[in-house]
Amino acid sequence: MDPLGQRLHPLHQRLAELVAPVLLVAGEYDIWPTAASVRELAVRLDADVAAVKARCARAGVNPGVDIQALSGRESDRGGLLVAITEQRTRADIDRLADVLGAAVAAERQAAVPA
């Protein structure tokens, strides 16, 4: 595994720990865990992607691209494409995982009727 892949492995683990809020996407976006060096990772959120992205932005983090906004396909609803470049440190990746996880949890809580 190359150095970037080594830094990304903990992100994969952290996202997998968020089993309820973040589910790895199968099918055409299934790039994990088979790739030796993953730079992009697609996840399916069980929360509104635009709202999650807005929460992340308020925390100063760009979590990724709304896949459905790009494709227009209903089947891509909830999909988020996360890209990590070689410039990102382990701390950057940990912060992304923390902020994304918190944003998804907050949106899931907001969606529960009072």
pLDDT in tens, 5-55: 566 666 666 666 653 334 444 333 334 454 434 467 788 888 899 999 999
Burial of 29 (0-12, 13-18, 19+ CB in 10 A): middle
Whole-number Cα distances in Å, 46 to 12, 25, 38, 39, 110: 17, 11, 23, 23, 12
Per-residue pLDDT tens digits for 71-88: 899 988 988 988 877 677
Query: What region does 79 belong to: left with phi over 0, alpha with psi -120 to 50, or beta?
Result: beta
Chain Cα centroid distance, residue 15? 7
Q: Taking the domains of the chain in order of start, what are their residue ranges? A: 3-111
Q: What is the pLDDT of residues 19-30, one digit of tens each?
A: 333 444 433 333
Query: Which CATH architecture describes the domain 3-111?
Result: Alpha-Beta Complex (3.90)
pLDDT at site 9: 66
DSSP type of residue 18: T
Q: What is the pLDDT of residue 31?
A: 42
